[in-house]
Structure 1
């Protein structure tokens, strides 16, 4: 049997059951057909076989991002970047430039601001944004995706005024009884849906996201949802038209009214697993609490930075049990966004309740983020076979804020070492666009636990490069019931592969950040190639 593509002289990181490292791999059409020595693999050469000499570089299973937001990432590309600004003043100037080319009355959108990184040390206000325009509605979303600021025109169009009551699970910030324009949690989610992008903009954004993710070696994405009920349809259209190249496992939820979205799924009669190898319906997902960096995560004890605050809850335990319990009973995998230790505990109890009422083997229920997970919760997660989906890249970008807001709790925040020690399989997600989608960045953060200023954050939770690679490949496949299809380089599995520019297993940890993707192979085809001599 002749191969269509051979990779030889490499570091083939198979991620098989014993983490074998081989020399070469053969692909025929869209499947891996052999892994072994150069001699064994070259024996499969045919007249039309392409041979790629890796020259010692690593080839891995294609990266699986177990929690990312393709639509949010892509549509952010259409707006104003606030992440790279140093101040509110700089953000305002960027928004003014955008206003010059935006027709009057249309939305101006910004994203990625972080008040902790701005010179003013505060959130923007509606009065700041009114300097940009009082004729355009304006929304600027914080880096966490759970908080935004809008101008006076946006508040007016949405019918929000000083006497408007806070929505359940959210808050309109007020100073001396007057709205500041800052919207927290569900207040933000409601406004963003009101200001939503057009279908054409969403589809363009999804295409941009897919291209960027290919550059990073990502061949599968567990998409964690958008702001409204049309999100699944948009994903399906983008996958079927190949505007999204990656394989998609779609979490069935919404950033706006997640229990309502789950109920729609239940009423439709669909459930987890519906679809094919390109797009499948994933778990039913709801929101329990807020963000880790806001901070709005729901914690058992008050924040270290504010003894009067312990975060925001979207649902009561009873509401959570009812929503996800019905989904479990209908055969769905279930999951929830849970950051704070109180929220993680609530999700564990929801899973326990669901299994008591309707026992099921191999349910693979998940917890998205599972931010603060101390030992008592680890024991319960292990007992219930729950899969956490942590985001170690958050440590790099937000770690010092975690120390300020949570104190010693950073030692069990995204506790990868503890998950490993307790035998809890975990799959890593970027939560992009909250942080970069780059899996190498996520691996480095998992291995070093260093913030962007070089501070060590909860270093007892460091893991090995091998463990991080497995969490970005095989474990991601396992979390979507697809470990027999992908996630490792083994005969019979899909030829979703990534070639790096160095050996990731022998590279010094201090140089891991210099590793880049040279080739992304998806379904046996090269979908991305860095323009470097000697790559292909």
Structure 2
């Protein structure tokens, strides 16, 4: 059998059951047909074969981001980037520039601000945003995606006045009875949906997101949802038109009214697994609590930074059991956003109750984030065969804030070493755009547990490079019931591969972040190339 592409003289990190490392790999059309020595692979050469000399560089299975928000990532690129500002003053200047080119009455949108990283050390207020414009409605979303600030015009258009009652699972922040413009959790979700992008803007954003993800070596994405009920349709349309080039496993939920979205999915008669190798329906998903960095995550004990607060819940146990229990009974894989240990415990109980009522082998139920998982919850996850979807890149961006907000509980946050030692499968996701989509950043964070200031956060939870690679490749495929199709470099699997610019197995741990993607091969075709040298 002759190959259409040969990759030789490399560090082929197969991520097979033995985690073997080979020299070369052969591809025919969209499948891997052989892995072995240079001599074995070159024997499959024909006149039409493209030959890529890796010169000792690593080639890995294509990265599988097990939790990301493509729509949010893409539409963020259409707004003002608050991560590029170092202060509220600087962010307001960027918003004023945007206002100059925005017709009056049209939304001005920003994203990515983090009060902990700004000189002023505080949240935005509506008075800050009123100084930008009172003719435009303005919304700026915090980096966590669970909090936003709006100006007076936005509050007026949305019909929110000082007498407005807080929505279930959310809060309108007030000072001396006055609305500050700061919106927490469901209050933010409702406002964002009110200020949502048009379908054309969403489709453009999805295309931008896909291209950025290809440049980071991401060939598969478990899309964790958008704000509204049209998100799945947007994804399907973008995949069909090849605006999204990655393979999509779509979590069936929404950031606003997730139980209502799940109910609609059940009424439609579909279930997890519907679709093909390019897009499949994933688990039914709901939100239980808030964000780790807000902080609004629901914890058993109050925050170290605020003894009067322990977070926000979207659902109580009965509501959670009803929503996801019904989905489990209808054959769905189920999952939930759960950050704090109280929320993680609630999801474990929901899965236990569902399995007790309707036993099922190989359910592969998940917990998105499982951000704070102490030993008692770890044991229950193991007993119930629950998959964790942690986000180690959060440690880099938010780790110092975690120490301030949670104290010693950082030792059980995104506890990868404990997952590994207890046999709890974990597939890593970026949760981008909340933090970087780059899998190399996620691997670096998992291995070093260093924050962006250089502090080590929960040193005992560090894992090996090999474990981190597996969590960003094979286990992601396992978490979507697709390990027979992808996730490792083995004959018969899809030719989704990523070539790095150096060896990932021999570079110094602190140098991992410097690794770059050189080639992204998807379905046997080069979809991204940083440079062409080595191709004959």
TM-score relative to the length of structure 1: 1.00
Mapped partners of 2:425, 2:442: distance in 1 = 17
Residues paired across the two proteins, number: 536
Mapped partners of 1:513, 1:296: distance in 2 = 29
1:76 equivalent in alignment to 2:76: yes
1:488-524 CA-partner distances (Å, limit 9, x unpaired): 0000000000000001001111211111000000000
Assess, with a 3 A threshold, how the Cα gap between structure 1 residues 36 and 374 changes in structure 2: closer, same or farther: same
1:298 equivalent in alignment to 2:295: no
Q: Per-residue deviation at 1:223?
A: 0.1
What's 1:143 paired with? 143
What's 2:368 paired with? 368
Q: Per-residue deviation at 1:534?
A: 3.5
Mapped partners of 1:18, 1:425: distance in 2 = 17
1:379 equivalent in alignment to 2:382: no
Mapped partners of 1:304, 1:96: distance in 2 = 37
Mapped partners of 1:21, 1:378: distance in 2 = 32
What's 1:435 paired with? 435
Instruction: State how 1:103-502 maps to structure 2 within 5 Å.
Output: 103-502=103-502
**Matched residue of 2:526: which SS?**
strand
What's 1:58 paired with? 58
1:280-330 CA-partner distances (Å, limit 9, x unpaired): 000000000000000000000000111100000000000000000000000
Alpha carbons 2:99, 2:133 under 8 Å: kept: yes
Mapped partners of 1:236, 1:50: distance in 2 = 32
RMSD over aligned Cα atoms: 0.6
1:47 equivalent in alignment to 2:47: yes
Alpha carbons 1:60, 1:499 under 8 Å: kept: yes
What are the ranges of 5 or more consecutive residues in structure 1 without an aligned counterpart?
none
Mapped partners of 1:316, 1:471: distance in 2 = 31
1:450-504 CA-partner distances (Å, limit 9, x unpaired): 0001001001000000000000000000000000000000000000000000010
1:337-361 CA-partner distances (Å, limit 9, x unpaired): 0000000000000000000000000
Mapped partners of 1:322, 1:110: distance in 2 = 36
Alpha carbons 1:518, 1:535 under 8 Å: kept: no
Q: Per-residue deviation at 1:533?
A: 3.5
1:245-280 CA-partner distances (Å, limit 9, x unpaired): 000000000000000000000000011000000000
After TM superposition, the runs of 4+ consecutive aligned structure 1 residues lying more than 2 A away are 531-536
**Matched residue of 2:190: which SS?**
helix
1:5 equivalent in alignment to 2:8: no
**Matched residue of 1:409: which SS?**
helix
Q: Per-residue deviation at 1:127?
A: 0.4
**Matched residue of 2:396: which SS?**
helix
**Matched residue of 2:406: which SS?**
helix
Alpha carbons 1:8, 1:54 under 8 Å: kept: yes
Mapped partners of 1:234, 1:131: distance in 2 = 35
Alpha carbons 2:5, 2:49 under 8 Å: kept: yes
Alpha carbons 1:26, 1:32 under 8 Å: kept: yes
What's 2:15 paired with? 15
Mapped partners of 1:438, 1:98: distance in 2 = 28
Mapped partners of 1:455, 1:390: distance in 2 = 20
**Matched residue of 1:83: which SS?**
helix
**Matched residue of 1:174: which SS?**
strand
Alpha carbons 1:325, 1:350 under 8 Å: kept: yes
**Matched residue of 2:84: which SS?**
coil
